[in-house]
Amino acid sequence: MKKIVISLSLLLALLCCVGVAGANVELALKGKKAQLISEVYQYDGVVYLAIDDVLPALGLRGYWDSVAHCYKIRTPMGRATFFPGGRYLRIGDRFLPIRHPCRFIDGKLRVSQDFVEETLSRLVVGSIYFRNLDPARAIAVANDNSDDIYGAYSFLVRSDRERRSTRLRAVAIDPAHGGDDSGTVGIDNLKEKTVVLAVARKLEKRLKMRLGIPVYLSRNDDYSLDLRQHLACADHDDVDALVQLHAQASLSGDVHGVHLYVRSSSGTLSGRGRTDPSLILALSVSEALRDAGFDVVEVAPAHLVTTGKGNLPTVVIEMGYLTNSDDAAVLGSDNGQQRMANAIFSGLEAFAKASRKTGETN
Ligand SMILES: [Zn+2]
């Protein structure tokens, strides 16, 4: 009994306010009966729920894999895996971004509201109903950062300021399409071939200015190339990364966001692990784009886009949808194109550091 009293007072000391009762979330698949979840935590202003409370409410099951140190969920789309502190949920060969990492709080693995609404919602059939009944009284918890070291890709986001990148010797950039081939055409006749060339030129300039390395463009003006010519820019001995730039179109004006693709010729992403250089490149660029405020939908194997063969680190960046007004506003403006180019540049820098680290530890 004494022990209980002590730990209770310790808890009171840690928590900014008490209000355990009253902090409730209603959660369900839309059309199903909502479950009431009473343990609602707030961490840095974000609502967190225990994964063990969330999954049953959505008709899902999962378990903690104590050997791999990750959490696994059985879903209609296959088994999904994520790590405490990680910024991706992996399902098959796809990586879905996690905005606020899952973390252990008060002895339980807890996931954020956006994890439920944005990430889990893509793993269930139908949509998710989430309602915080009493946001003001959610429990505030003192900072707890003990578990971030298990983040699956934390080595990609760790800052390493002293050691400037010297690893990238040269970069090849392929602005897709050109000439007669406009690529996709979106709002206000915005053409893919124009957008990708503009971003490629800005990225080229930034690489040259910041790193002083050679940059090879597949085309530097509006003319058409065949596939071999598009990839010829990577055919230099010093090229350490190839960036292929595209933009998309959709029948729905609502569809938006960035997709990143890596070479799929060697099979699926599964099993290739974090040492696959193209995957490290794609995840680094994805991270940088998200840090810059871009909405990254996924990192996935390229089935439709040609990435060429070989093991040169290559990423295809579908920079957004020219048919979506927000994406088109960004990609059609000088300022937006510069932001995109800057983010890709940061991703390339992070990739150089990450591959040096993997190179050192191997
Ligand atoms: Zn394209």
Q: Tens digits of per-residue pLDDT, 39-50?
A: 888 777 788 899
Domain count, the chain: 2
Contact status, residue 255 vs residue 297, Cβ threshold 8 Å? no
- The answer to whether residue 5 is domain-embedded is no
- 117: Cβ contacts below 8 Å, ≥ 6 apart: 128, 130
Q: Flag whether pLDDT at 286 surpasses 90.
A: yes
Is 203 found in the same domain as 340?
yes
How many angstroms does the Cα of residue 182 sit away from the middle of ligand 1?
9
**Mean pLDDT score of the chain, rounded to an integer?**
82
Domain boundaries, position 344: 162-361
Both tokens assigned to 350: 């992070």
Quick one: pLDDT at residue 77? 87
- The answer to whether residue 254 is domain-embedded is yes
CA distance 31 to 67: 37
**Which of 127-131, 151-155, 341-345 has the largest mean confidence?**
341-345
Q: 């903690």: which residue's tokens?
A: 64
How many angstroms does the Cα of residue 251 sit away from the middle of ligand 1?
16
Q: Flag whether pLDDT at 181 surpasses 90.
A: yes
How many angstroms does the Cα of residue 272 sit away from the middle of ligand 1?
26
Quick one: pLDDT at residue 194? 98
Quick one: pLDDT at residue 15? 46
The residues placing their C-beta within 5 Å of ligand 1, an ion, are 176, 183, 246
CA proximity to 129, closest of 115, 117, 137, 119 = 117
Last residue of a domain, one of 152, 171, 198: 152
Quick one: pLDDT at residue 330? 98
Q: Which pLDDT band holds residue 62 (cuts at 50, 70, 90)?
A: very high
- 226: Cβ contacts below 8 Å, ≥ 6 apart: none
Sequential DSSP letters for 73-141: EEETTEEEEE-TT-SEEEETTEEEE-SS--EEETTEEEEEHHIIIIIGGGSSSS-EEEEES-GGGPEE-
- The answer to whether residue 3 is domain-embedded is no
pTM: 0.67
Is 210 found in the same domain as 107?
no
Q: Within 10 A of 173 (CB to CB), how many other CB atoms are there?
A: 27
How many angstroms does the Cα of residue 218 sit away from the middle of ligand 1?
14
Last residue of a domain, one of 117, 152, 187: 152
Is 32 found in the same domain as 106?
yes
Contact status, residue 233 vs residue 256, Cβ threshold 8 Å? no
Is 184 found in the same domain as 107?
no
Among 23-27, 159-163, 274-278, 348-352, name the one with the lowest average pLDDT. Answer: 159-163
Q: Spell 289-323 as b/e; 16+ CB within 10 A means b.
A: bbeeebebbbbbbbeeeebbeeebbbbbbbbbbbb
Last residue of a domain, one of 111, 134, 152: 152
Is 275 found in the same domain as 202?
yes
- The answer to whether residue 2 is domain-embedded is no
> Residues 187-215: what's their mean pLDDT?
94
How many angstroms does the Cα of residue 245 sit away from the middle of ligand 1?
7
How many angstroms does the Cα of residue 142 sit away from the middle of ligand 1?
47
CATH at 48: 3.30.457.10
Q: Which pLDDT band holds residue 305 (cuts at 50, 70, 90)?
A: low
Q: Spell 12-43 as b/e; 16+ CB within 10 A means b.
A: eeebeeeeeeebbbebbbeeeeeeebebbbbb
Q: Which helix (DSSP H) or strand (DSSP E) does residue 280 occupy?
A: helix 277-291
Quick one: pLDDT at residue 135? 60
How many angstroms does the Cα of residue 301 sit away from the middle of ligand 1?
16
Is 204 found in the same domain as 136?
no
How many angstroms does the Cα of residue 305 sit away from the middle of ligand 1?
8
CA distance 105 to 54: 15
Is 33 found in the same domain as 182?
no
Contact status, residue 176 vs residue 244, Cβ threshold 8 Å? yes
